[in-house]
């Protein structure tokens, strides 16, 4: 065993080069008590990258080693400091290896740079995420109405709006609350030109009054004693809104609004299938129209098949995909759009 003192920074990595003359056994180098490099059992000049431990000692040790070590050099692979710069604005200067997250208000240029003082090291796994200042920390749902983006804050009664016609501008004070009942807000949804606030057990309908302080206000009397069980089931359809409901008595009834009154459209058979689902929040709905028929389709979760309501005939049916073994599973369609005269459906498996 041979040791020597050195100036090492714990956790930093160094390139260690040395010449080993091995007459018997093997030898390995460690820095500062850290993990040793690869053992050398034949005479050679080697270079190894090693992470330093907490002591200031270079140690050569081996199994029954006899021989000599010479021409030792230690070069840090990391040194100095480095600073991220976004558009001309500097972040925090870093002088130790690690993974960092920081918020930087961008300057006027479109460039991300890293600059340093005698910096030696590597920068990797860089991600740049835009943060809309003023948005709540947990956004659960989003919609767009009358030039405003509207988002609900998770696990609260509150919703926020963006600046008019500008989804990049948010003010932390531009929020309001579903207030008629204390249950949390489950979904914000634009429907029939109004803003529907669908809660866990109750709902409200707001409208754009044009007020300068905050443009949205609850419509007098527009309060429903039914909330939403599956946030992604709410759809604007047939000049109304459809959703899978929930109230203080239970959940799993499908409603459409008749004005501000929830009208049950599901049958007992459909409700039995919905209530057999393990997690109803995973259900979602989409719709399309063809040959005079308008369809509201419920899929997702662990439904055995997709459940389809023909709005035109007011009749339910199941829609399924036939697997290779002849069994049925959910219909594969999960998203939809009508573009260039074509029905385009997204497949949840591809």
Secondary structure of the chain as H, E, C letters: CEEEECCCCCCCEEEEEEEEEEEECCEEEEECCCCCCCCECCCEEEEEEEECCCCCEEEEECCCCEEEEEEEEEEECCEEEEEEEECCEEEEEECCCCCCCCCCCCCCCCCEEEEEEEEECCCCCCCCCCCCCCCCCCEEEEEEECCEEEEEECCCCEEEEEECCEEEEEEEEEEEECCCCCCCEEEEEEECCEEEEEECCCEEEEEECCCCCCCEEEEEEEEECCEECCCECCEEECCEEEEEEEECCEEEEEEEEECCEEEECCCHHHHHHHHCCCCHHHEEEEEEEECCEEEEEEEECCCCCEEEEECCCCEEEEEEEECCCCCEEECCEEEEEEECCEEEEEECCC
Considering only CA atoms, which of 121, 115, 36 is closest in space to residue 77? 121
Of the candidates 293, 303, 312, 291, which has an alpha carbon nearest to the alpha carbon of residue 334? 303
Largest CA distance in the chain: 95
CA angle 165, 188, 151 (to 5 degrees): 50
pLDDT in tens, 278-311: 999 999 999 999 999 999 999 999 999 999 999 9
Q: How far is CA 47 from CA 68, 71, 88, in A?
A: 16, 11, 39
At residue 6, the pLDDT reads 55
Supply the pLDDT for residue 5: 47
Which stretches in the chain have pLDDT values below 50? 5
pLDDT given at position 131: 62
CA pair distance 35, 289, nearest whole angstrom:
66
């Amino acid at each position: 065993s041979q040791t020597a003192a050195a100036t090492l920074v714990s956790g930093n990595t160094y390139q260690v080069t040395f010449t080993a003359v091995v007459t018997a056994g093997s030898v390995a180098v460690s820095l500062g008590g850290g993990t040793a490099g690869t053992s050398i059992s034949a005479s050679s000049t080697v270079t190894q990258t090693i992470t330093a431990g907490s002591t200031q000692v270079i140690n050569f040790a081996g199994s029954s080693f006899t021989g000599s070590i010479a021409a030792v050099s230690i070069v840090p692979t990391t040194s100095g400091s480095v600073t991220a710069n976004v558009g001309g604005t500097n972040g925090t200067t870093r002088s130790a290896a690690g993974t960092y997250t920081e918020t930087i208000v961008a300057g006027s240029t479109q460039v991300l740079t890293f600059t340093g003082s005698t910096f030696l090291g590597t920068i990797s796994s860089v991600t740049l995420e835009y943060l809309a200042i003023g948005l709540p920390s947990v956004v659960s749902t989003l919609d767009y109405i009358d030039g405003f983006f509207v988002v609900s804050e998770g696990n609260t009664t509150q919703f926020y709006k963006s600046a008019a016609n500008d989804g990049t501008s948010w003010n932390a004070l531009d929020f309001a609350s579903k207030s008629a009942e204390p249950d949390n807000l489950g979904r914000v949804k634009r429907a029939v030109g109004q803003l529907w606030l669908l809660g866990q057990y109750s709902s409200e309908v707001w409208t754009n009054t044009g007020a300068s302080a905050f443009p949205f206000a609850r419509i007098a009397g527009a309060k429903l004693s039914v909330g939403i069980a599956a946030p992604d089931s709410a759809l604007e359809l047939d000049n109304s809104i459809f959703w899978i409901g929930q109230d203080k008595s239970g959940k799993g009834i499908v409603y459409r609004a008749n004005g501000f009154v929830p009208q049950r459209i599901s049958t007992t058979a459909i409700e039995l299938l919905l209530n057999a689902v393990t997690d109803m929040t995973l259900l979602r709905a989409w719709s399309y129209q063809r040959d005079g028929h308008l369809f509201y389709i419920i899929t997702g979760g662990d439904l055995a098949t997709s459940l389809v309501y023909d709005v035109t005939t007011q009749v339910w049916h199941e829609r399924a995909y036939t697997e290779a073994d002849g069994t049925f599973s959910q219909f594969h369609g999960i998203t939809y759009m009508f573009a260039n005269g074509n029905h385009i459906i997204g497949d949840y498996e591809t």
